Structure 1
Amino acid sequence: MRIAPLIAFLVLVTAATIQAQDRFTVMVYNVENLFDADGVAQYSDYQTDSIENPNRYTPRKLLTKIQNIATTLKAVNNGRGPDIVLFQEFERDFTPGEQPVDYKALLKPFENTTVDAMLTGNVNPTVADLPVEALVLKYFEDNGLDGYHVAVSAPVDDIENAKAHTNATFTRFPILSSNSYPTPNAREILVTTVDVEGAELVLINNHWKSGASRSSTEGSRVANAKDTRKVLEAILKENPTADIIIGGDLNTYYNSAEYFPVKKDWQRKDYAMKALGSQGDELAIRKEDGPDLYNLWFELPPKDRKSEFYQGSWGTLMQMLITRGLYDGAGVRYVDGSFHALIIPGVNVGGEWEAPREWYFLGEAGGGFSDHLPLVAEFEIVHESMPGTYSDLNEPSLAELGPAWIPSVDLVKTSQKIYPDSSTLEDTSDKDIAENYGELFEVKAEVVHFNPILVRIGKRNYEVYAYQPEVRQKLGQFLPGDKATFLGELSEHSGKPQFLVHDESWVR
C-alpha cells in the first residue's frame, strides 16, 4: 500500500528536476484465447467440428474478438491506444512460413479490403490461414490504431507438443532485437528490445504455467520465474541500470507467498514471485545491493489490486514489474502513480461484481472481452539525461510484502439479497441471455437431467455447476422431476448457458 512520504533523510538519493516532454503508455493484456479462422485448434471449443460447443467458433466470432480488443485499446490515449502492448493468448501459428514474418508483405494482397470484409461471408482459405497477429495488426491499421511493429515467440522444434498459445508484443517503437526462451510447461519467454528515441527499453513478455489456485502447479511457475530471472540477470550484468519491463499473465498472485500458506495451507516454501524477486519497497531498488525489481501492484491500495474474478475472490494473475533503471534520470522513466487496471464500466466489466466480461460463444457473433483486465502504466522519455539521479515519488510504497489476503465478496451476505426470478429469462433471445451474463437470479425450475444437472426455463436447458465439492453435493439432492430452488450466476460453458452456484447458502 502506498504510504505517506517519510522525512527527507530516508530518501536515498536526492531527486533531480529533469525535463521530460514525451510520454507513452504500456499495456499488458491477456485477450483470452484469440484463435485464428481455420477451425483447427488444440481446444475443442475453437474447432470447426466441435460437438461439445453448439455455438462453435467461426470467422465472424474471431472478428468480434478482434473488434473488442481494439475497443479496449482505444480506451487509452484518447483513442490512439497504447504505444506498447504485451499480449498473451494469441494462438500459435502451427504452420509458420519464413521467419521473422514480414507482416507488410504478408498483408499486401489485402491492402484494398478490410478485416471486417475478410472475416464475413465466404472466408477465403488464405485469410483463414493467416496468423492472428497479422489479422489484429491489419484491423488496427484499418481502424486508426496504426504504426505498430510486431514480435512473436519464434517457432518451436517440437511442434506436436507445443502450447496452443504464444506471446505477442506490439510496439510503435522500432524493434532492435527479439528473442524467445523456452521454459517448462509454459509459453516461451519473449524478450524484445525497442528503440525509444535512442534509449533501449527491454520488454519481457511472459505467460507462466496455469493452475493458479493449485499448489501442484506452483513448482512449474517457480521454474518459469527462475528462467525469467536468468534472462533478467543476463541483461543487468551488461547494464545494471537497464530499462526493463517484465509483464504478462504470470498465473500467480503478487502476494502468493503470504496468501496461500495462510488461506490454502500450502506447505511449499518456494513461491514463483519470490523466485522472480518481486517486492514492494519502491525506494529499496535505488540501493546498488538492494532488490532490482518493483511490482507495480504496490502502487494501489490492497483493495484495488485485482485483475480477474474467480469463485468470489479477486486475483492478480496479470502483473507488471520494473527495474531501477526506470526510476533514474536517463533513458526511459516510469511515471509515478500511473499504474492501474483498465476498467471500462459497461464495456469490459459487468455483472453483480463488475467483474471482467469473459468471452462467450452464444449467438452468431459471440461477445465479451476477456477473463483478465488489462494493466496500464505510463512512461516518459528523459530528454536531459542525468544518470545517477532519481525522480521524486509521491507517497512511495515501502511495504516489501503484500497482505495475507485478497479482495473477496461475502457470498453468504449475497445470498440474503433479493434478485430477479429466473422466469424473466423465458422466451429471451441469445443476445438477451448473453447480456445478462454475470447477473444473479433466483432460480425456481424443474430439473430435467442429472449429472450434469440441467434445469428447464422456458424453452432452454441450463446446466447448474458449482466449483466447491460441498456445494455440488448439496445440489445433488435435486433429481429429475424435482423443482430446484437456488441462487445462481448466469454464465456460459462451451457455448451453453449455465448457472454457477458459488456457496452452500445459495442452495435453498
Structure 2
Amino acid sequence: MHRFFYLFLVIPFVSGCIKSDATTDFVLVAYNVENLFDIDGVAIYNDYKQDEADDPYTYTRRKLLTKLINARRTLAHFNSGIGPEIVLFQEFEADFTPQSTTMSSEEFLLKYSGLSVESMLTDGWQTHFADISSVHWLLKALDDIGISGYHVVSCPAKPIEDNMAHTNAIFSKFPIRWSKSHRLHRARDIIEAELDINGHGLVVYCNHWKSGASNPNMENIRVQNAQVLHRLVQAQLSNNPQADIIIGGDLNSHYNHSSIFADIKTGINDVLGADGDETFQSSQWYNFWYELPSELRYSEVWRGRRGSLMHLISSRGLYDNQGISYIDGSFNHLILPEINADIIGRPLEWNFAGTQGGGTSDHFPVFAHFSTRAFASTSEFSLGEHTPSVEIPHSVVGHPAVGSLKEGAFLSRLSEDDYGDYVGRLYRVEATIVQMNPLMIRVGGVLWSAHAVERELMGPTGLQSYLENNDGEVELVIRLNIYRGRKQLLIDAIL
C-alpha cells in the first residue's frame, strides 16, 4: 500500500527476522555495491588493475578493506546487526581468475575462520589471498561480525573480450533449491533462483540491465534485457499464476521510465509491464516504489536529479493468503547519513582518494519485508497515481540541512593521505574568489581549483558579482572532489 507522509532522511524499520513454528518473517534487499573488485590485478577497468604503484589513487588492499567495511556497516542496519535474510547484489567484479575460486562458500569461511578481513588485508597479508574473489571477500567481511549463514550463488565471468566487468550474486540464509543464469545482450546475466522459505518456494530474479538510464538511445538494449526477463517470469506464471516472485536489482530504468521518455518503448514499463497498480488489474507486476510518496522514490541522485534505478517488483502471489506474502507498507530505501549518504540525502559514492579511499555506493539499497503469514492490508491499494513525468530535482539550494553544515576550512589543512573520508561530503566555507576562468578560490589560506556545479553560479548574478562587488569574499557550500587525479572543490551553492 502507498503511504502518504514525508520525511527527509529515512532510517527505516529494519529489524524483523521473526521466526516461530507457524510463521517466518524476513527482509529482502537489492544492493548495488558499486564496483566491489578483488585484488588479483586482472580487471577490465583501469582503476582496478593496480599497475601503477606510485599512483596515489590506485586500488589497494586497504581500499578494498574500506569498501568491505562500509558495505557491511550498511547491511548491519538490518535485523539488529545480524543482516538481511536475502540480498540480491549487483556489481561484484566478475572473477577473471576462476581457477582460484574452487572452494564452496562454506569451505572458504572454514578455511579462514581464524583470521579477519582486517588482518588478511593488512599485516597478515599473504600473496595467495589475491586469488580470493570479491564475492568471498564480502562474505568473509560479513561473517566476521556475525552476519552469517548465507548460501551463495553468483554468475561466472563472461570471456574478458566481452568487456563485462561485473556479475550479480544472491546471498540467502534460506536454502537455495535451484538456480540458473540467463545471458543478456550487453548486460550482466540474470540469476533466477528458487529459495525455500520454511517449505514455501520464493522465486527471485537478480538483475543488472544495460547502463545509461538517461540515454534513450540505450533503451533498445534494455528492451532486449526486459524481453529475456519477461519470458522467464511468464514461464513461472504459466505453471502457477499465483507464484510468489520478486524481480529485483538495478534495472537502469526509473519506475516511471515510460512517463519520462514518453516517445520510446521502455523495457521496465512497456515490455515487463511493471506499474503502480497494486490491484494487479492493469499488469502482473507491482513496483514497490509506489509504496512511497513520489518525492521519496529515489535510490540515486545524478546531476542534481533523483533516480530510481534500484527495484523490487512483486507478483500478485505475494498478496494472497498462501505461501509468501508481502508485509504491507514495508518497502523503503536505506538512507544512512554519514554512512552511505551525505547530509542532504545523496549517496556517498565510492572514491579512491587518500590511502584508504572512501564512500560506499552510488546507489541506495532498497528493501521490503515478507512473511509466511497471509497478506494483511494496512491502507488502501495504490492504483499508480502520482506518477511524475520528470526526474525530481534534489538540490542543495534551500535544503533545511544546509543550516547545520560543518565548517570546511579544515580541508585546506588535511594531508592528501586522509582525503578518502571527506570526498563528497558537504561543508560550509568562507572563501575568496581569485579568478573566474579557470575558477580559483582561496579557502583557509590555500588556493584551490574549483568547479561550479550549476551553470547559474558562473553567471553575472553568481560568483562573478562577488568578485566585482565584494572583493571576492563569499560564503559557499562546497565538496572536496578528485577529478582526473587532481584535487578540487565543487561549489554547490552560494549562502
Q: Shorter-chain TM-score: which interval? A: 0.7 to 0.9
Q: Report what 1:392 is aligned to.
A: 377
Q: Report what 2:44 is aligned to.
A: 42
Q: Report what 1:81 is aligned to.
A: 83
Q: Report what 1:276 is aligned to.
A: 272
What is the distance in 2 between the residues matched to 1:483 and 1:122? Answer: 52
| Superposition map of 1:49-448 within 5 A | 49-50=51-52, 54-97=56-99, 102-121=104-123, 123-156=125-158, 158-261=159-262, 267-283=263-279, 285=280, 290-351=282-343, 353-382=344-373, 391-399=376-384, 402-409=387-394, 423-430=409-416, 431=418, 434-435=421-422, 437-441=424-428, 443-446=431-434
**Unpaired segments ≥5 residues, structure 1:** 5-18, 262-266
Say which is worse superposed, 86-95 or 223-232, in terms of deviation: 223-232
Q: Contact 2:288–2:331 (CA<8 Å) still a contact in 1?
A: yes
Q: Contact 1:280–1:401 (CA<8 Å) still a contact in 2?
A: no
Change over 3 Å in CA distance of 1:366–1:146 after alignment to 2:
same
What is the distance in 1 between the residues matched to 2:446 and 2:110? Answer: 46
What is the distance in 2 between the residues matched to 1:3 and 1:425? Answer: 41
Deviations 1:175-233 (A, max 9, x none): 11111111112111111211111111111011111111112212211221122111111
Change over 3 Å in CA distance of 1:444–1:420 after alignment to 2:
farther
Change over 3 Å in CA distance of 1:51–1:123 after alignment to 2:
closer
Q: Contact 2:435–2:441 (CA<8 Å) still a contact in 1?
A: yes
What is the distance in 1 between the residues matched to 2:392 and 2:199? Answer: 42
What is the distance in 1 between the residues matched to 2:177 and 2:109? Answer: 22
What is the distance in 1 between the residues matched to 2:34 and 2:452? Answer: 22
What is the distance in 2 between the residues matched to 1:308 and 1:182? Answer: 26
What is the distance in 1 between the residues matched to 2:183 and 2:354? Answer: 38
Per the TM alignment, residue 425 of structure 1 is displaced from its structure 2 partner at its CA by: 3.2
What is the distance in 2 between the residues matched to 1:364 and 1:257? Answer: 43
Q: Contact 1:54–1:496 (CA<8 Å) still a contact in 2?
A: no
What is the distance in 1 between the residues matched to 2:444 and 2:377? Answer: 62
Q: Contact 1:425–1:433 (CA<8 Å) still a contact in 2?
A: no
Per the TM alignment, residue 123 of structure 1 is displaced from its structure 2 partner at its CA by: 2.7
Per the TM alignment, residue 472 of structure 1 is displaced from its structure 2 partner at its CA by: 8.4
Q: Report what 1:492 is aligned to.
A: 481
Q: Contact 1:258–1:404 (CA<8 Å) still a contact in 2?
A: yes
Change over 3 Å in CA distance of 1:23–1:94 after alignment to 2:
same
What is the distance in 2 between the residues matched to 1:374 and 1:67? Answer: 16
- Identity between Structure 1 and Structure 2 (%): 38
Per the TM alignment, residue 462 of structure 1 is displaced from its structure 2 partner at its CA by: 5.0
Change over 3 Å in CA distance of 1:101–1:159 after alignment to 2:
farther
What is the distance in 2 between the residues matched to 1:94 and 1:199? Answer: 36
What is the distance in 1 between the residues matched to 2:197 and 2:206? Answer: 18
What is the distance in 2 between the residues matched to 1:63 and 1:98? Answer: 20
Q: Report what 1:264 is aligned to.
A: none
Q: Report what 2:11 is aligned to.
A: none
Q: Contact 1:3–1:397 (CA<8 Å) still a contact in 2?
A: no
Change over 3 Å in CA distance of 1:312–1:97 after alignment to 2:
same
Q: Contact 2:326–2:370 (CA<8 Å) still a contact in 1?
A: yes
What is the distance in 2 between the residues matched to 1:427 and 1:99? Answer: 44
**Unpaired segments ≥5 residues, structure 2:** 5-20, 465-470
Residue type matched to 1:197 in 2? N
Change over 3 Å in CA distance of 1:105–1:277 after alignment to 2:
same
What is the distance in 2 between the residues matched to 1:191 and 1:101? Answer: 22
Change over 3 Å in CA distance of 1:129–1:268 after alignment to 2:
same
Q: Contact 2:3–2:329 (CA<8 Å) still a contact in 1?
A: no
Q: Contact 2:300–2:363 (CA<8 Å) still a contact in 1?
A: yes
Q: Report what 1:11 is aligned to.
A: none
Deviations 1:251-271 (A, max 9, x none): 11101111244xxxxx42445
What is the distance in 1 between the residues matched to 2:284 and 2:167? Answer: 27
Q: Report what 1:7 is aligned to.
A: none
Q: Which has the higher contact order (CA 8 A, sep 6+)?
A: 1
Q: Contact 2:181–2:190 (CA<8 Å) still a contact in 1?
A: yes
Say which is worse superposed, 437-446 or 33-42, in terms of deviation: 437-446
What is the distance in 1 between the residues matched to 2:288 and 2:242? Answer: 18
Q: Secondary structure at the match of 1:81?
A: coil
Change over 3 Å in CA distance of 1:273–1:446 after alignment to 2:
same
Q: Secondary structure at the match of 1:67?
A: helix
Change over 3 Å in CA distance of 1:110–1:269 after alignment to 2:
closer
Q: Contact 1:86–1:205 (CA<8 Å) still a contact in 2?
A: yes
What is the distance in 2 between the residues matched to 1:461 and 1:202? Answer: 56
Q: Contact 2:301–2:394 (CA<8 Å) still a contact in 1?
A: no
Per the TM alignment, residue 321 of structure 1 is displaced from its structure 2 partner at its CA by: 0.2
Deviations 1:119-175 (A, max 9, x none): 11363222112101111112222210010011101343x332141111111000111
Q: Contact 2:253–2:268 (CA<8 Å) still a contact in 1?
A: yes
What is the distance in 1 between the residues matched to 2:193 and 2:297? Answer: 27
Per the TM alignment, residue 420 of structure 1 is displaced from its structure 2 partner at its CA by: 8.1
What is the distance in 2 between the residues matched to 1:331 and 1:111? Answer: 36
What is the distance in 1 between the residues matched to 2:227 and 2:116? Answer: 43
Per the TM alignment, residue 446 of structure 1 is displaced from its structure 2 partner at its CA by: 4.4
Q: Contact 2:433–2:440 (CA<8 Å) still a contact in 1?
A: no
Per the TM alignment, residue 339 of structure 1 is displaced from its structure 2 partner at its CA by: 0.3
Give the TM-score taking structure 1 as reference length: 0.81
Residue type matched to 1:176 in 2? R
Deviations 1:75-95 (A, max 9, x none): 011111100001111111011
What is the distance in 1 between the residues matched to 2:440 and 2:123? Answer: 35
Q: Secondary structure at the match of 1:235?
A: helix
Q: Contact 1:449–1:455 (CA<8 Å) still a contact in 2?
A: no
Change over 3 Å in CA distance of 1:483–1:174 after alignment to 2:
same
Change over 3 Å in CA distance of 1:363–1:241 after alignment to 2:
same
Change over 3 Å in CA distance of 1:2–1:139 after alignment to 2:
closer
Q: Contact 1:259–1:405 (CA<8 Å) still a contact in 2?
A: yes
